[in-house]
Homo-oligomer: A and B are copies of this chain.
Amino acid sequence: MAPPALKESPLPDTPISTVLLVIALHAEAAPLVADLRLTQDSQAVFPEGVPWVKYSGTYEGLNVHIVTPGKDGIHGCDPVGTVPASLLTFNSIQVLKPDLIINCGTAGGFQGYREYGVGALEATPVPKLISALQLKTGVLTTGDSLDHVPEDVVIMKANDATVKDMEVCPLYMPFGGAAIAYVAHLLSVPLIMLKGVTDIVDSPAATDEEFLANLSLTAHAIQRTVSKALQFISGKKLSDLQ
């Protein structure tokens, strides 16, 4: 059964001045923070006590913010999962008022295509950006549940190599789907998902080994692609991406 996709709506003529990058893992964010020369600012934009981290700066005339969930105060690990991601995205939208959100990071991939979604939120097609950067599009899923963690999110199309191991997804999500998409939709902010594939979910190799082996490589591929995306976005309106 085809997913109940929503109708596309055209993007407005709003100039893009502020871009919010939501990234789950510090290791994924680090190369990009360095490349864009962002600085971790001490300005208290988040509620007291949350472990979230913000890096900000100007790149190609854009106000760029990278936010990550930081480290869990109790367990010391990266607080991955839909709840921290949704809260971080929600609060960042309220405080930073971005014109565009890019969720970038690593994801697992399937070998070949597989229809996996049970419903879909269709959002923010950006064919001009995809064409300019020669990216591949795909379907992001969270399985069949409202609440699978982002690590369960899998890109439906296996990856080739080098720059092509980036996919920009015009956001086909299972309903209830990934937390960031849910929040972006809730607050009506355009969202692009830029994902690098770190492992092949249905390959016989152990995915944690693959993940660690590929994380650094993929983080740098993400950095290169996001930088190019920001260069393309600079000076444009939202409608220019369609």
B49–A188 touching, CB < 8 Å: yes
Question: Which listed residue, B6, B49, B90, B146, touches A149 by the CB 8 Å rule?
Answer: B146
Scan residues 111-164 of chain A and give those whose CB is less than 8 A from a CB of chain B: 121, 145-149
Segment among A11-19, A54-62, A81-89 that sits at the interface with chain B: A81-89
Interface size class of A (residues with CB under 8 A): 20 to 34
Q: Is the CB of A187 within 8 A of B49?
A: yes
The interface residues of chain B lying within 8 Å CB-to-CB of A80 are: 146
Bits for A146-188, please: 1 = Cβ < 8 Å to B, else 0.
1111000000000000000000000000011001001100111
A204 at interface (Cβ–Cβ under 8 A)? no
Known: A82-B82, A83-B182, A175-B74. A47 touches B147 (CB 8 A): no
Asked if A231 is an interface residue, CB under 8 A from chain B, the answer is no
Closest to A49 in B: B188
C-alpha gap A207/B45 in the complex (Å)? 44
> Interface digits, A5-47 against B, CB 8 Å rule (1 contact, 0 not)?
0100000000000000000000000000000000000000001
Contact B175 A75 (CB under 8 A): yes
A50 interface residue per 8 A CB criterion? yes
Bound state CA distance, A182 and B74, in angstroms? 11
B83 touches A179 (CB 8 A): yes
* In the assembled complex, A91 has its CB within 8 A of some CB on chain B: yes
Asked if B50 contacts A81 (CB within 8 A), the reply is no
Do B6 and A74 touch (CB < 8 A)?
Answer: yes
Is there a chain B Cβ closer than 8 Å to A94's Cβ? yes
How far does the Cβ of A119 sit from chain B's closest Cβ, in whole Å?
A: 8
A contact set with B: CB distance below 8 Å:
6, 47-50, 74-75, 80-84, 86-87, 90-91, 94, 121, 145-149, 175-176, 179, 182-183, 186-188
